[in-house]
Amino acid sequence: MDQAARGLGLMPGLTLADARARVPELWIEDDDPQADSRLHARLAQWCDCYTPLVGADGGDGLLLDITGCAHLFGGEAGLRADITARLYAFGFHARSALAGTPEAARALARFSQGGIVPEGGEAEAVRPLPVVALGIESDPVRALARAGLKKIADLADRPRAPLAARFGVDLLDRLEGVLGEKIHPISPRRPLVEKQVEQLFPEPIGRTEDMLAALQDLAGRLTVLMEQDGEGGRLFEASFFRADGKVRRIAVSTARPLRDPSLVARLFSERIESLTDPLDPGFGFDSIRLAALVRQARPATQAGLDGREAAGEKLAELVEHLAARLGEERIVRFEPQGSHIPERTACLRRAQASPSEESIWARSAAGEPPLQPLRLFDPPQPVDALAEVPDGAPMRFRWRRVTYEVAAAEGPERIAPEWWRREERPLTRDYFRVEDRDGRRFWLYREGLFGDEAQHPRWFLHGLFA
Amino acid sequence: MQDDALARLRRSLARIERADWQEDTAPFSLGLPDIDDFIGGGLPHGALHEVFPESAADCGAGIGFALALALRANGKAGRPLLWVRQDMAAQEQGELHAAGLAEFGADPSAFLLVRARDAVQALRAADEALRCNALGAVVIEVWGEARALDLTASRRLARGAARAGCCVLLVRSGAAPAPSAAMSRWRVRASPSRLLAAEAPGRPAFDIGLLRHRAGYPPRRWRVEWDRDELVFRPPALSGAVAALPADRPAAPAAAEDRRRAG
């Protein structure tokens, strides 16, 4: 609700009919809380260019911890003027206040004209505000009003212990915060990153080559920071701050702790190249920030003479490049699972994740043919099969409109369901290895024991042998 | 007479073209003298080899043959294998099954599986993989006629394979052979296996045909079996699925002896 609207006599909570009566030419939009919260989040992101510590205050406020940041913008007044002016340019009317504690600043911004409170002046500044400014629920506000306590000044002068006894410790906490006696740190929207570097540009840049060059430069500075602590990055994030306030973040993860600037830069260039939603510079980016979000200890190592480690490194590098290019979920490796249900014997894990120590794969005795197929269908393909009841091997089956005559078969290999899993109706499976007249080998199973579990058991093709 | 001259001409052409691929590494053999002698000791490592399953139903055989070649190429080195497959191939022919790889003689932990969206992405992944020389072999599985897989793309693959000294196997299911830069091209179909006791299907058997070899060896067909314990190809059984009759016992044994121990 901005000044102009207030001047026309509109206020929050007014019914639509009343509002129309006051302003006949009123433009009406449906409420869209999701769009509102998106906008709020975007503004919060944009505020990252002032301070890394940005917290949300309800759905329409932002709390910025500007400790140690104000001098970059010409002092507190300069920073406040800059934010207000830029937000005004985006089309927002913002009220802001600067104070020693987040609660005091919030109360002043929401319930007065805002402004900058000199150090230690919080208690004086908030005295005339109503108790709602404490940011408490409506019930205690009503209880306070009933007790005749309407302004913060009324509370501030009273002994604290009876207040806490009657209205709860929470109230006291808030009161102390608002009066500037106690500082509650804000909870930032994004975790605070220890290792990050930033590059501000005098002129917004828009060419991909320029951005990549800047990233390479930033990676070089970041790796120096990590090298000092003997660390390498596992997850890097680049934030591109667009001149019009939009922020785009792109992350790449690595398969091992990494601190080679050119590799980091190459991963980013591959990621950017393969984005489905390309990086749109608009009118250009005015700053780029690179952070190592996840780090791991990485002592400096010397390459072994046998070159074994080098091979592992090279493979990890390949996995990183493929993951950056195609997406992490597209490059996987097998890991054994303790299950005898064929589709659960192995799971696919992202190759980026650290592999487990030793994987043991079951194999049938030497001299046997392969007893498990090379390819497995998920889900199994339903087929029409002709078989002897109750548990004979199929003699003929039809799959994808082709009939296969079975020439040889082995089975059944009975696999009982895992009853400890909560499934709809687990059925026993009888597996058959069959070979057709032309020598193609298939893995078929009958679901359910004949007569016992199912009246008309269904047949499925589960895999193809070589 | 004419055939002979043609073969000589082909061989001399191949010698001229030889600069294209590295000849310094010894080729990997298939382990079957019959074939190895015919193709000059085996297939070269740093080269592209194409495998065409004869029909859609022979895809299992095609994959099996390609995997067997990859295992032969990797040898005892135990280096990781990269398997790139298109999403479409997994939908049509099922996903690679880890327990099945183990049963085939491979170590599933040594596999890196790349699940590419389409042929373009699969080729890009293979290109990237061939910049790294830590791999034992690369298998690329492309489904259907892929426009992206033209002569230029296959030249690129062949050059990458030569540079990395890595064997690249391209499995083309549901596609017809077309001109390419591949060193060798094979057509594969399933072949009836030598049955075990009680009519159980036996070792994987393939009917393989050499369609083209850049060194000019003429087309020929073989039937082979895969021995997953020794990781070699074996000659097939003598005459299909007939077991020899024992001399000292009746021809029809008792039912109890007829059973094969499973597992």
Q: What phi and psi, each to the nearest 5 degrees, are found at residue A53?
A: -100, 95
pLDDT at residue B237, as a whole number = 67
| A137 and A216 fall within a common domain | no
Cα distances (Å, whole numbers) of residue B230 to A184, A399, A421, B252: 70, 34, 39, 33
Cα distances (Å, whole numbers) of residue A143 to A139, A150, A157, A272, B26: 6, 10, 18, 57, 91
- Do the Cβ atoms of A318 and B129 come within 8 Å? yes
- Do the Cβ atoms of B128 and A402 come within 8 Å? no
pLDDT at residue B262, as a whole number = 55
Residue A190 lies in a domain: no
Residue B249 lies in a domain: no
| A298 and A271 fall within a common domain | yes
pLDDT at residue B137, as a whole number = 93
Average predicted confidence (pLDDT) for chain A: 85
pLDDT at residue B1, as a whole number = 56
| A149 and A215 fall within a common domain | no
* Domain of A212, in residue numbers: 196-323
The predicted model gives A75-94 an average pLDDT of: 87
Residues of A in contact with B133 (CB under 8 A): 314
Residue B64 lies in a domain: yes
pLDDT at residue A357, as a whole number = 61
- How far apart are the C-alpha atoms of A361 and A353, rounded to whole Å? 20
pLDDT at residue B22, as a whole number = 47
pLDDT at residue A270, as a whole number = 86
Structural domain total, chain B: 1
- B161 to chain A, minimum CA–CA distance in Å? 15
* Domain of B102, in residue numbers: 2-21+28-238
- pLDDT for A308 beyond 70: no
Residue B195 lies in a domain: yes
**Which residue shows structure tokens 């010894």?**
B26
Q: Which of A323, A343, A366 is the last residue of a domain?
A: A323
| A229 and A317 fall within a common domain | yes
Residue B258 lies in a domain: no
| A408 and A302 fall within a common domain | no
Q: What phi and psi, each to the nearest 5 degrees, are found at residue A264?
A: -60, -45
- Do the Cβ atoms of B112 and A377 come within 8 Å? no
Residue A338 lies in a domain: no
Mean pLDDT lowest among A7-11, A335-339, B111-115, B153-157: A7-11
pLDDT at residue A143, as a whole number = 83
- pLDDT for A151 beyond 60: yes
Residue A331 lies in a domain: no
> Nearest-CA residue of chain A relative to B188?
A466
Long-range contacts of A66-71 (CB under 8 A, 24+ apart): A66/A98
- How far apart are the C-alpha atoms of B200 and A13, rounded to whole Å? 80
Task: Count A/B contacts: CB-CB distance under 8 Å.
Answer: 212
| A156 and A225 fall within a common domain | no
CATH code assigned at B221: 3.40.50.300
Q: What phi and psi, each to the nearest 5 degrees, are found at residue A24?
A: -60, -30
| A208 and A268 fall within a common domain | yes
Residues of A in contact with B111 (CB under 8 A): 333-334
Residue A332 lies in a domain: no
Residue A313 lies in a domain: yes
The predicted model gives A50-76 an average pLDDT of: 84
pLDDT at residue A406, as a whole number = 94
Residue B262 lies in a domain: no
- How far apart are the C-alpha atoms of B196 and B243, rounded to whole Å? 8
Q: Which of B58, B61, B201 sits opposite A433 (nearest CB)?
A: B201
Residue B243 lies in a domain: no
Residue A346 lies in a domain: no
Mean pLDDT lowest among A21-30, A87-96, A296-305: A296-305
Q: Is the pTM of this model over 0.95?
A: no
Residues of A in contact with B117 (CB under 8 A): 326, 330
- The helix (run of H) or strand (run of E) holding residue A77 is helix A75-90
Residue B190 lies in a domain: yes
pLDDT at residue A294, as a whole number = 85
Residues of B in contact with A466 (CB under 8 A): 60-61, 63-65, 67-68, 104, 204, 206, 226
Sequential pLDDT tens for chain B (263 residues)? 567 888 888 877 766 555 444 445 678 898 889 999 999 888 998 899 999 999 888 999 999 999 999 999 988 777 899 999 999 988 888 999 999 999 999 989 889 999 999 999 999 999 989 988 888 899 999 998 888 889 999 999 999 999 888 999 999 998 889 889 999 999 999 999 988 888 899 999 999 999 999 988 999 999 999 999 999 999 986 544 445 555 555 555 444 445 565 55
| A211 and A297 fall within a common domain | yes
Residue A341 lies in a domain: no
- How far apart are the C-alpha atoms of A403 and A130, rounded to whole Å? 83
Summarised one tens digit per residue, pLDDT across range A98-140 is: 888 888 888 888 888 878 888 888 888 888 888 888 888 778 7
Summarised one tens digit per residue, pLDDT across range A172-225 is: 888 888 888 888 887 777 777 778 888 889 888 888 888 889 999 999 999 888
| A128 and A150 fall within a common domain | yes
The rounded Cα A231 to chain-centroid distance in angstroms is 24
| A283 and A203 fall within a common domain | yes
Is residue A34 helix, strand or coil? helix
Summarised one tens digit per residue, pLDDT across range A378-418 is: 889 999 999 988 888 999 999 999 999 999 999 899 998 88
Summarised one tens digit per residue, pLDDT across range A237-252 is: 999 988 887 888 888 8
> Nearest-CA residue of chain A relative to B79?
A311
Residue A350 lies in a domain: no
Mutate: best of A267, A273, A318, partner B, most B CBs <10 A: A318
ipTM of the complex: 0.82
pLDDT at residue B238, as a whole number = 54
pLDDT at residue B253, as a whole number = 47
- Do the Cβ atoms of B99 and A365 come within 8 Å? no
| A40 and A172 fall within a common domain | yes
Structural domain total, chain A: 4
Give A203's DSSP letter.
E
Q: Are strands A346-350 and A331-336 parallel, antiparallel or unpaired?
A: antiparallel
User: Minimal CA–CA distance to B249: which of B241, B262, B258?
Assistant: B258
Residue B156 lies in a domain: yes
User: If DSSP states are collapsed to H, E and C, what string results for B164-225?
Assistant: HCCEEEEEEECCCCCCCCCCEEEEEEECCCCCCHHHCCCCCEEEEEEEEECCCCCCEEEEEE
Percentage of residues in chain A with pLDDT exceeding 90? 16
**Band (A44; pLDDT cuts 50, 70, 90):** confident
- How far apart are the C-alpha atoms of A105 and A110, rounded to whole Å? 9
pLDDT at residue A356, as a whole number = 62
What are the beta bridge partners of residue A435? A408, A441
| A80 and A172 fall within a common domain | yes
